[in-house]
Amino acid sequence: MMKRISLIICQVVFCFTALFNQSCSKDELLPEKENTVKLRDVSKYLILGNSITVVQKSSYWWGEWGMAATKASSDYVHVFNSLLENKFSHKIPYKAINIAEWEKNTNTFDNSKLNSYFDHDENLVILRIGENVPFPDLNTYEKNLTTLVKHIKKQAPNAHIVLTGNFWKSSKRDLIQYNVAKSEGCTWVALSQLDFPEYKPTLDTQVYDDEGSLHKISEGGDQAIEVINHPGDKGMKRIAELIFDAII
């Protein structure tokens, strides 16, 4: 009897191990980038993102740029823009917009609310979202994300679209976003390989406010734990480089 129970336990463990390894294999098969392009120039672009892209000042954050970069020039948006302008040797107008509201309400959000952010002559749009999509909404996420990408194409018909993966490891979200990028002809850039402490700040990291004064992230109180899950300067720089390398 004991031998039979041991055999059953071993079989169960084997099955779970096999499923785990299969899941890992699927994650490993997801490329870090796909459908890369060589843009001859970037004349104007739009970045639609969440707090990693830009966030308003609050009781726990002190500047309107990507959380948790130490200053505006260190977030991925500004680093990316510097890379572009150095490459093409001219100023490039852009907008960086927080659309976390879309992430949190993918089933009900009216995409026409985004129309005012477009000038309609952008030749590049970066969609840097995913982390705030609730787990229960993932069943409809692929459909809703596809609808969003199609809407962006109508608003910026001459733009190449980059769709990134999630900074925080989420194989299901990443797979959905990868599938949409592939089906809609977008450049895909994975980011979950950066979800490690070396690419994030600590509670003792000092960040600037708009007036140039320094604050420890820990001064943000209970919300500080959420802040330090965001990419720090090193993570922001790497995000910018990964997007840049996929299109230039």
pTM: 0.89
Average per-residue pLDDT for the chain? 91
Handedness of CA 43, 110, 168, 217 (dihedral sign): positive
- Of 82, 158, 90, which Cα lies nearest the Cα of 125? 158
Residue pLDDT, tens place only, 172-190:
999 999 999 999 999 999 9
Residue 27 pLDDT exceeds 50: no
3-state helix, strand, coil in the chain (%, to 5): 50, 15, 40
* Domain residue ranges in the chain: 1-30, 32-247
Q: Cβ distance 67 to 51 under 8 Å?
A: yes
What is the 8-class DSSP label of residue 133? S
Please report the pLDDT score of residue 29 as a whole number. Answer: 80
Distance in angstroms (rounded) separating the CA atoms of residues 65 and 73:
9
Per DSSP (E only), the strands in 18-57 are: 33-34, 45-49
Please report the pLDDT score of residue 24 as a whole number. Answer: 39
The amino acid occupying position 30 is L
Cβ atoms within 10 A of the Cβ of 74, count?
20
The top-level CATH class assigned to 32-247 is alpha beta
The amino acid occupying position 116 is S
Residue pLDDT, tens place only, 50-105:
999 999 999 999 999 999 999 999 999 999 999 999 999 999 999 999 999 999 99
Distance in angstroms (rounded) separating the CA atoms of residues 25 and 218:
38
User: Using omega within 30 degrees of 0 as the cis cutoff, is the peptide bond preceding 156 cis?
Assistant: no
Distance in angstroms (rounded) separating the CA atoms of residues 41 and 92:
10
Residue 11 pLDDT exceeds 80: no
